[in-house]
Amino acid sequence: MEKNNSDKKSENILWNTFKSVKLTVVVLLLLAVTSIIGTIIPQNGTEQFYLNRYGEVFFKLFNLLDIFDMYNAWWFILLLVLLSVNIVICSIDKLKTTWKIIFPDKITFNIDRFRRLKDKIELESNSNLEALEAKYLQFIEKNFGFATVEKSEDQNPKGVAIFGESGRWTRIGVYVVHLSVILMLAGGVIGSLWGFKAFVAIPEGLTVSSAFLRDNNRPVELGFDIRCNSFSVTFYDTGQPKEFKSNLTVLEDGKEAFTKDIIVNDPLRYRGLSLYQSSYGIDSAKSATFKITSKQSSMTYSKKMEIGDTIDIPESGGKFTLSEFVHGYNFRGHNLGEGFVGRMYSSNKVDNGQNSESDKNGEIEIYIPIKFPTFDKMRGGEFSFEIEDYEKQYYTGLQVTKDPGVWYVYVGFILMIIGCWITFFMSHQSICVEILEKNSGCKVIVYGTANKNSQGMKLKVGKIASMMDKL
Amino acid sequence: MNSSIILSVTTFVYAFASVLYIGSWTFKKEVMAKAGFFVFVAGFTGNTMGIILRWIESYKIGYGHAPFSNMYESLVFFSWTIAALYLFVEIKYKERIIGVFATPLAFLSIAYASLSPSISDKITPLIPALKSNWLIAHVITCFLGYAGFAVAFGFSIMYLIKPVDLEQKDHISGDKKLQNGKKSLYSKLPSLDLMDELIHQMVMFGFLFLTIGIITGSVWANSAWGTYWSWDPKETWSLITWFIYAILLHLRLMRGWHGKRIAWVSIVGFMAVLFTYFGVNLLPGLHSYA
Ligand code: HEM
């Protein structure tokens, strides 16, 4: 580039800054060091949490610097942008020259370059020059894929040099690595612009058509309906969970499209969305079996009921309706936890127990907690209720993700691995076999060089030479 | 015979091999390094058998999973990868003495697993999130990467300990051994150029596998949780480690960054590896182990 005006010059300064590996080192170092912050200060917590932890002053300071969501902070994004610009400019700049090396008009060799090499191996042979030339040319061609012969210029002593090379194309490797970084970053941007992460909890048997965004809880339409047919959880004998499984049906316009079981590590993917098994809980109970004890006769009766059922209490004790399942119940300031709420209608208006307020019809509300089986006995009524067994109704918690950028990221992953493999383990290797005539037979010198991994090349030259010696 | 016993024995075999290597260096006896090599191979065999047996045992118990699922198993596997990589290098480059600082690392890892009271060698079942083939690929590749960095670390220490003036004498006398019989402690060490190259080779090996490790981990996270990257502390620290070694690779491309300085960067990098592996457990996150 000509530097004939100041405009070009300032352009060059910018260009030279961005093409420098020094900048790369600085930016990568800054990324590494700043990334530590987010691993020490918990991210995306509540304001209250931070206030308690760091106090007013530090809270304000950290908040100002977006430390609480630092991986999305403007300055962190800026570092990533700098890295990208750096990679692009640097690659364009270097590729201009590398391209000429990879695709030269004509491959030329310079014997003096090889002669200057420190590592070389000398062999002696009794054969004549022409025989050796033919033999070694074929050998080098076979081992390197490309070979040419040149007569030595001075012809004193008479000699030829065979040049061979392989792996010229491997010089493209680092560009593949750098391109992959750009692809991954681009995939991340695409994902955050056009994708979303949401959550939905579906009780067994119910259907939903939308989920709630993780960030702000706003609903987002799925574009189809999804029904949770059932959820199940199994445990190991150690008590650790073994498997969480939801049986889901996708419905299009109310018609069943298909049904699939999802487990952790095997999500449902449909129309650009992915649904992951992410949590579960008890939504309600489908039915319960009660043990009813009569105070008078000390008899116990077992009754299975669904929510909403009404039964006749034995011994003409009246009627009992199972109203609902609740997650908590307040009794004199204590939360009794999950349990069933029922209504009892006594046939005779005798004492229904001290703990409940009986209304004029002798109708009372009673609570039957799961955790405290004797609770209802304490009421002191004619009949007490205890839970023998109940069938849980679960809800399944699904993470709903849309990420159109993931494919760019995955292609980046593959290119990154291929590119690293090429740059690290493959090289552009050149070899030169110089054959010089002697009084009897020939002297053979083998030189080799590579654009990297000189130690490996040295070993390879040794191997090639010993193979040639045995030919 | 169960796997825990084999692995405990392996610990002592590795210890013995390390002692032999260090002995050969301090007492200038090549023969000890030779013996050390065979003892180390024996340890490696025990290590391999222990891992395979543990795999079989887990199926017998009925949990049936690859032995890479908790701290104990990962440490045992870490020493296996260090040993495998080191043996590969010693055989390929035919340099015995370089094991002085690399073999003790294989020993330390398995010793920590066997002897630390806070690490249980019980075979435990897998929680649902860990049931994935990606987990196996993830753990194997991460630990191959860590092994590359560990061996590079061993070589870096060796590089820094070797005095430079001796190397210059070495150069004067050419690649041949010093003619006069006065062999110093350090003349047994391979040439600095070779060490520099080996550090670079090991870092490249480590970088490739750490890269694949992070990638497989990220694909796994995407199949289990629907996010390929969530900046949890373990992930972030593995990325920090990756950045450090990327810096090392680029520093080598700048003029003047070779030898000692690169050895120091490789040591810093290995500290980051150790923090990723052990330190992060002190911070909150998704990874329960490894
Ligand atoms: C996270 C980002 C990056 C990664 C993972 C990365 C990776 C690599 C790798 C693996 C190599 C090969 C090293 C070797 O041969 O030992 C390399 C070489 C190189 N990188 Fe990067 N790089 C990154 C960013 C950059 C940036 C921003 C620049 C911009 C200046 C850059 C400039 C170079 C240059 C000039 C080479 C040498 C190419 C050659 O040998 O011809 N890299 N990079």
Q: What does the pLDDT look like over B118-162, one tens digit per residue?
A: 777 777 777 776 777 888 899 999 999 999 999 999 999 988 886
Asked if B233 lies within 8 A of A413 by C-beta distance, the reply is no
DSSP state of A268: E
- Do B86 and B54 lie in one domain? The reply is yes
Q: What angle do CA A145, A95, B241 make, to 5 degrees?
A: 95
- Do B76 and B212 lie in one domain? The reply is no
Would an 8 Å CB–CB cutoff place A459 in contact with chain B? yes
The residue with greater pLDDT, B265 or A42, is: B265
pLDDT at A180 over 90: yes
Classify residue A421: in a domain, yes or no.
Answer: no
Q: Which helix (H) or strand (E) holds A270?
A: strand A268-270
Q: How far is the CA of A411 from the centre of ligand 1 (A)?
A: 19
- Do A402 and A381 lie in one domain? The reply is no
The residue with greater pLDDT, B196 or B241, is: B241
- Range with the poorest average pLDDT among A416-425, A439-448, B184-193: B184-193
- Do B70 and B134 lie in one domain? The reply is no
Q: Which of B128, B211, B226 sits opposite A274 (nearest CB)?
A: B226
Q: What is the pLDDT of residue B288?
A: 42
Asked if B228 lies within 8 A of A459 by C-beta distance, the reply is no
Interface of A with B in 59-78 (CB under 8 A): 71
CB-facing half-sphere around the CA of B116: CA atoms within 13 A = 14
Classify residue A80: in a domain, yes or no.
Answer: yes
pLDDT at B172 over 60: no
Q: What is the pLDDT of residue A32?
A: 93
Q: What is the pLDDT of residue A66?
A: 84
Would an 8 Å CB–CB cutoff place A80 in contact with chain B? no
- Do A9 and A77 lie in one domain? The reply is yes
If you search the block for the tokens 């992951």, which residue do you land on?
A: A276
- Do A256 and A405 lie in one domain? The reply is yes
The residue with greater pLDDT, B129 or B239, is: B239
Classify residue B25: in a domain, yes or no.
Answer: yes
Classify residue A422: in a domain, yes or no.
Answer: no
- The C-alpha R_g of chain B, in whole angstroms, comes to 20
- Do A292 and A356 lie in one domain? The reply is yes
Asked if B127 lies within 8 A of A263 by C-beta distance, the reply is no
Cβ atoms of B250 and A25 within 8 Å: the answer is yes
Cβ atoms of A147 and A135 within 8 Å: the answer is no
Q: Which helix (H) or strand (E) holds A213?
A: strand A207-213
Dmax over CA atoms of chain A, in Å, equals: 133
> Which one of B98, B210, B216, B231 would you mutate to disrupt binding with A, by most A Cβ within 10 Å of its Cβ?
B231
- The residues, any chain, with a CB within 8 Å of residue B195's CB and separated by 6 or more, are B98, B155, B158, B159, B162, B189
pLDDT at A436 over 90: no
Mean pLDDT estimate for chain A: 85
Tokens of A27: 């930016």
> Using CA of residue A422, residue A424, residue A426, residue A427, what is the dihedral sign?
positive
Cβ atoms of A75 and A82 within 8 Å: the answer is no
Q: Which of B125, B211, B233 sits opposite A236 (nearest CB)?
A: B125
Asked if A240 lies within 8 A of B205 by C-beta distance, the reply is no
pLDDT at A87 over 90: yes
CB-facing half-sphere around the CA of A327: CA atoms within 13 A = 6
| Nearest-by-CA chain B residue for A178 | B246
- Do B153 and B254 lie in one domain? The reply is yes
Per-residue pLDDT band at B243 (split at 50, 70, 90): very high
The residue with greater pLDDT, B82 or A233, is: B82
Residue A139's nearest CA partner among A164, A166, A107, A168 is A164
The total number of structural domains that make up chain B: 2
d(CA B124, CA A241): 12
> Which one of A39, A121, A421 would you mutate to disrupt binding with B, by most B Cβ within 10 Å of its Cβ?
A39
State CA A292 to chain mean position distance.
53
Asked if A28 lies within 8 A of B219 by C-beta distance, the reply is no
Asked if A413 lies within 8 A of B244 by C-beta distance, the reply is no
Domain stops at, among A100, A126, A155: A100
* C-alpha torsion A74→A78→A79→A80, nearest 10: 100
| Nearest-by-CA chain A residue for B126 | A242
> Which one of A264, A269, A421, A425 would you mutate to disrupt binding with B, by most B Cβ within 10 Å of its Cβ?
A264
- Do B98 and B201 lie in one domain? The reply is no
Ligand 1 atom with the shortest distance to the CA of A21: 30
Classify residue B268: in a domain, yes or no.
Answer: yes
pLDDT at A3 over 80: no
Strand, coil or helix: A177: helix
Q: What is the pLDDT of residue B253?
A: 80
- Range with the poorest average pLDDT among A104-108, A356-360, A432-436, A443-447: A356-360
Q: How far is the CA of A59 from the centre of ligand 1 (A)?
A: 38
Atom 30 in ligand 1: residue holding the nearest Cα = A21
Asked if B131 lies within 8 A of A399 by C-beta distance, the reply is no
Interface of A with B in 265-284 (CB under 8 A): 265-267, 274, 276-278
Average pLDDT over residues B93-100: 80
Ligand 1 atom with the shortest distance to the CA of A416: 5
Classify residue A172: in a domain, yes or no.
Answer: no
Q: Which of A21, A240, A278 sits opposite B254 (nearest CB)?
A: A21
Tell me the ipTM for this assembly: 0.87
- Do B99 and B138 lie in one domain? The reply is no
- Do A199 and A255 lie in one domain? The reply is yes
Minimal C-alpha gap between B279 and chain A (Å): 11
Classify residue B178: in a domain, yes or no.
Answer: no
Which residues approach ligand 1 with their CB closer than 6 A? A 19, 21, 24, 83, 86-87, 90, 94, 174, 177-178, 181, 420, 423, 452; B 246, 249-250, 253
- Do A266 and A407 lie in one domain? The reply is yes
Average pLDDT over residues B268-274: 95
Q: What is the pLDDT of residue A153?
A: 67
Classify residue B85: in a domain, yes or no.
Answer: yes
- The residues, any chain, with a CB within 8 Å of residue A13's CB and separated by 6 or more, are none
Secondary structure E strands in A310-382: 310-313, 318-326, 330-331, 334-335, 339-345, 363-369
CB-facing half-sphere around the CA of A207: CA atoms within 13 A = 12
Classify residue B6: in a domain, yes or no.
Answer: yes
Quote the pTM value: 0.83
Interface of A with B in 42-61 (CB under 8 A): 42-43
| A-chain residues near B240 (CB < 8 A) | 32, 35-36
Q: How far is the CA of A96 from the centre of ligand 1 (A)?
A: 16
Classify residue A175: in a domain, yes or no.
Answer: no
- The secondary structure of A142-173 as a DSSP string is HHHS-EEEEE-SS-SS-EEEEEEEE-GGGGGH
Average pLDDT over residues A215-242: 84
Contacts of range B60-65, beta carbons closer than 8 Å, 24 or more positions apart: B61/B123, B63/A236, B63/B123, B63/B124, B63/B125, B63/B126, B65/B125, B65/B126, B65/B130, B65/B131
| A-chain residues near B251 (CB < 8 A) | 25
Would an 8 Å CB–CB cutoff place A28 in contact with chain B? yes
Classify residue B64: in a domain, yes or no.
Answer: yes
pLDDT at A421 over 90: yes
Average pLDDT over residues B167-192: 50
Does residue A157 have a cis bond before it (omega within 30 degrees)? yes
| B-chain residues near A195 (CB < 8 A) | none
- Do A405 and A274 lie in one domain? The reply is yes
Average pLDDT over residues B109-122: 79
- Do B143 and B249 lie in one domain? The reply is yes
pLDDT at A2 over 80: no
- Do B55 and B148 lie in one domain? The reply is no
Classify residue A438: in a domain, yes or no.
Answer: yes
DSSP state of A195: -
Classify residue B176: in a domain, yes or no.
Answer: no
Classify residue B174: in a domain, yes or no.
Answer: no
The residue with greater pLDDT, A110 or A3, is: A110
Q: What is the pLDDT of residue B131?
A: 72
- Do B146 and B286 lie in one domain? The reply is yes
- Do B283 and B203 lie in one domain? The reply is yes
Counted across chains A and B, CB pairs separated by less than 8 A come out at: 115
Cβ atoms of A288 and A305 within 8 Å: the answer is yes
Helices (H) and strands (E) in chain A — how many of each?
A: 9, 20
pLDDT at B165 over 60: no
If you search the block for the tokens 């050998």, which residue do you land on?
A: A139
Classify residue A106: in a domain, yes or no.
Answer: no
The residue with greater pLDDT, B245 or B114, is: B245
Q: What is the pLDDT of residues A115-153, one digit of tens each?
A: 888 878 888 888 888 888 888 888 888 888 888 888 776
Average pLDDT over residues A63-77: 87
Determine the structural domain holding residue A247 and report its residue range. Answer: 182-282+395-416
Per-residue pLDDT band at B279 (split at 50, 70, 90): confident
Minimal C-alpha gap between A391 and chain B (Å): 24
Atom 22 in ligand 1: residue holding the nearest Cα = A178
Buried/exposed B51-77: b ≥16 CB within 10 Å, e otherwise: bebbbeebeeeebebbbbbbbbbbbbb
- Do A239 and A192 lie in one domain? The reply is yes
Q: What is the pLDDT of residue A85?
A: 93
pLDDT at B290 over 60: no
Asked if B228 lies within 8 A of A406 by C-beta distance, the reply is yes
pLDDT at A360 over 70: no
- Do A363 and A405 lie in one domain? The reply is no
Q: What is the pLDDT of residue B176?
A: 41
- Do A232 and A315 lie in one domain? The reply is no
Q: What is the pLDDT of residue A192?
A: 87
Q: What is the pLDDT of residue A9?
A: 66
> Using CA of residue A51, residue A53, residue A57, residue A62, what is the dihedral sign?
negative
Tokens of A220: 């987002």
- Do A289 and A276 lie in one domain? The reply is no
Q: How far is the CA of B84 from the centre of ligand 1 (A)?
A: 29
Would an 8 Å CB–CB cutoff place A451 in contact with chain B? no
Would an 8 Å CB–CB cutoff place B286 in contact with chain A? no
- Do B212 and B237 lie in one domain? The reply is yes
| Nearest-by-CA chain B residue for A245 | B128
- Do B76 and B153 lie in one domain? The reply is no
Asked if A265 lies within 8 A of B92 by C-beta distance, the reply is no
Per-residue pLDDT band at B1 (split at 50, 70, 90): low
Q: What is the pLDDT of residue B135?
A: 85
pLDDT at A274 over 80: yes
Q: What is the pLDDT of residues A362-393, one digit of tens each?
A: 788 889 998 888 888 888 888 889 888 888 88
Determine the structural domain holding residue B272 and report its residue range. Answer: 130-164+184-290
Residue A160's nearest CA partner among A445, A399, A464 is A445
Per-residue pLDDT band at B170 (split at 50, 70, 90): very low
Q: What is the pLDDT of residue B133?
A: 80
Asked if A424 lies within 8 A of B204 by C-beta distance, the reply is yes
- Range with the poorest average pLDDT among A349-353, A434-438, B222-226: A349-353
Mean pLDDT estimate for chain B: 82
Q: What is the pLDDT of residue A417?
A: 96
pLDDT at A154 over 70: no
The total number of structural domains that make up chain A: 4
The residue with greater pLDDT, A62 or B164, is: A62
Amino acid at A386: E
Ligand 1 atom with the shortest distance to the CA of B211: 5
- The secondary structure of A5-16 as a DSSP string is SHHHHHHHHHHH
Of these ranges, A107-121, A397-411, B156-170, the one predicted with the greatest mean pLDDT is A397-411
Average pLDDT over residues B205-229: 92
Q: What is the pLDDT of residue B167?
A: 46
The residue with greater pLDDT, A105 or A259, is: A259
- Do A96 and A127 lie in one domain? The reply is no
Average pLDDT over residues A10-31: 85
Beta bridge partners of A164: A147, A431
Cβ atoms of A121 and A433 within 8 Å: the answer is no
pLDDT at B51 over 70: yes
Average pLDDT over residues A197-214: 87
Give the β-pairing of A429-437 and A147-151: unpaired
Atom 1 in ligand 1: residue holding the nearest Cα = A181
Beta bridge partners of A234: A243
Atom 27 in ligand 1: residue holding the nearest Cα = A87
Q: How far is the CA of B83 from the centre of ligand 1 (A)?
A: 30
Would an 8 Å CB–CB cutoff place B231 in contact with chain A? yes
Q: What is the pLDDT of residues B195-212, one digit of tens each?
A: 888 899 999 999 999 999
Classify residue A240: in a domain, yes or no.
Answer: yes
